[in-house]
Amino acid sequence: MDHLNTPNMEEAARAILARNDRGGYTVPTDRLYPFQWNWDSAFVAMGFALFDVDRAYRELERLIEGQWADGMIPHIVFHAPSDTYFPGPEVWGTRHAVPTSGITQPPVFGMALRQIHETATTFGTPDAEERTRALFQAALRSHRWWLRARDPDGIGLVSILHPWESGSDNSPAWDDALARVPVTTKTVIRRKDTGHVDPSMRPRDEDYQRFIHLVDLYRECGWDPQRQWATTPFKIADVQMTAILARATADLLHLAERLGSEEERSELADMHQVLVRGLSRRWRPDLSRFVSLDLVSGQDVEAPTQAGFIPLIAVMLDGHQRGAATAEIERWTDGMVVGVPTTPSWSAAFEPKRYWRGPVWAVINWLICDGLRLNGTEDLARRIEQMTVQAIERAGFCEYFDPTTGEGLGGDTFSWTAAAYLVLKRRS
């Protein structure tokens, strides 16, 4: 890959962000993902904030061009046509002016906004306050949507209705729930991803049949959240999603202290308390991690995946929990060339090259390290950051990495890997 010949990796990372820029927004990578993706953009915005605050704001501003009237920020905004991706806007059949998908993705947006705002304030960027205020209102509307649409029973955990919402599409965490979803589809499946990337590194065809079955079902619900909630066979109160929402809520609350009203502050504080309480109940001492809840079967999702550690970004663990979670992350990483695997090597579901069933993702390490630092486990955070930076320096800005060999996998010249490199390199 050409960027490996570039002596300065930070320059190479910035060049990838420039190359993937399509006019104020960034595609995750050319061809494989030719539109704007929700959580990719939030991570990318944090990368941009290190060297171009205006561009960082633009990334979030372009994303909310896709925000729905009910507050949802969709997982894909189809700003411009492309025929290199399936499923495109015609399959989603949503009604938004700028075409979008009909599902969402982890709300890293609020976390990014706080960071961009703080950088802008430090550098005295003109119009920063006005831009932050507008984005703050968009984020607040989206958080309200999350609680209203995805925790209607008030359990303090928000649910995903589609594996694509989690961002961890084919994680073993979804295997049992996804098995309930029929493989029949109304839409003809024309996968494009396996034309860009080795199929052994992607979800299986059967996974795609179930993914598209759910898209068909929700389109028939007219994308109405209540109808979807009532009809779906796939409903998981997800600790990774809830943790990101809780952390983003804390970050919005921080912004609201200067920029929000009294009502907004108390609304965000209540929201935060509800989510942290909900998450705290999901700790399992026998597993040394948090577990999601399958709302259809009523069962804990015990499959070991990275999601079990993401609550560290939102919850302050007690001493015993902190020791246990740290030891567990080390156990997953021991013997690996690069950690943290998204599924540990001792799990029967482990596949070191298949997408979310084992590979290491730089942005997941970024979140895990933020969580470790928040919980005062600086040493392990630094080790993981260094390992991630070295993996990228060895293999390039790939989508993900084989934990057993360090090999770079999936798409290359990946925007969020470039952003993660810029952020983690400064820390390591």
409, 397, 347: which is closest to 4 by C-alpha? 397
Residue nearest to ligand DGY (CB): 164
Q: How far is the CB of 423 from ligand DGY (least distance, A)?
A: 22
Q: How far is the CB of 196 from ligand DGY (least distance, A)?
A: 10
Of 55, 62, 75, 213, the residue at the interface with ligand DGY (CB under 6 A) is 75
- Structure tokens belonging to residue 424: 């983690």
Q: How far is the CB of 164 from ligand DGY (least distance, A)?
A: 4
Region of residue 154 (phi > 0: left; psi between -120 and 50: alpha; otherwise: beta)? left
Binding mask 185-214 for ligand DGY (x = CB under 6 A): --------x---------------------
Q: Between 169 and 294, whose beta carbon lies closer to ligand DGY? A: 169
Q: How far is the CB of 34 from ligand DGY (least distance, A)?
A: 11
CA gap 366, 420 in Å, rounded? 7
Q: Between 193 and 370, whose beta carbon lies closer to ligand DGY? A: 193
CA gap 72, 52 in Å, rounded? 27
CA gap 214, 162 in Å, rounded? 7
Q: How far is the CB of 145 from ligand DGY (least distance, A)?
A: 19
CA gap 85, 172 in Å, rounded? 24
The identity of residue 204, as a single letter, is R
Q: Between 164 and 400, whose beta carbon lies closer to ligand DGY? A: 164
Strand partners, 400: 409
The verdict on whether 176 is a catalytic residue reads: no
DSSP 8-state code for residue 173: G
Residue that the structure tokens 């993705």 belong to: 105
Of 30, 40, 59, 169, the residue at the interface with ligand DGY (CB under 6 A) is 169
> Which listed residue (193, 399, 402, 407) is catalytic?
399
- Residue 164 in contact with ligand DGY, rule: CB under 6 A: yes
- Residue 371 phi/psi, 5-degree rounding, is -65, -40
Close Cβ partners of 130 (under 8 Å, ≥ 6 residues apart): none
- Residue 114 in contact with ligand DGY, rule: CB under 6 A: no
- Residue 30 in contact with ligand DGY, rule: CB under 6 A: no
Binding mask 86-105 for ligand DGY (x = CB under 6 A): --------------------
Close Cβ partners of 82 (under 8 Å, ≥ 6 residues apart): 34, 35, 88
Please, where are the H alpha helices in 281-409? 319-333, 362-374, 378-395
CA gap 207, 230 in Å, rounded? 23
Q: Between 144 and 191, whose beta carbon lies closer to ligand DGY? A: 191
3-state secondary structure of 300: strand
Q: Between 202 and 425, whose beta carbon lies closer to ligand DGY? A: 202
Q: Between 169 and 370, whose beta carbon lies closer to ligand DGY? A: 169
Total of residues contacting ligand DGY (CB under 6 A): 4
Q: How far is the CB of 37 from ligand DGY (least distance, A)?
A: 7
Q: Within the chain, what is the greatest distance between any pair of CA atoms?
A: 55
> Which listed residue (165, 169, 207, 294) is catalytic?
169
Q: Between 109 and 164, whose beta carbon lies closer to ligand DGY? A: 164
The identity of residue 233, as a single letter, is P
Total Cβ atoms within 10 A of residue 214: 23
The verdict on whether 399 is a catalytic residue reads: yes
Q: How far is the CB of 139 from ligand DGY (least distance, A)?
A: 21
- Structure tokens belonging to residue 8: 């300065």
Residues that bind ligand DGY (CB under 6 A): 75, 164, 169, 193
* Residues catalogued as catalytic: 169, 399
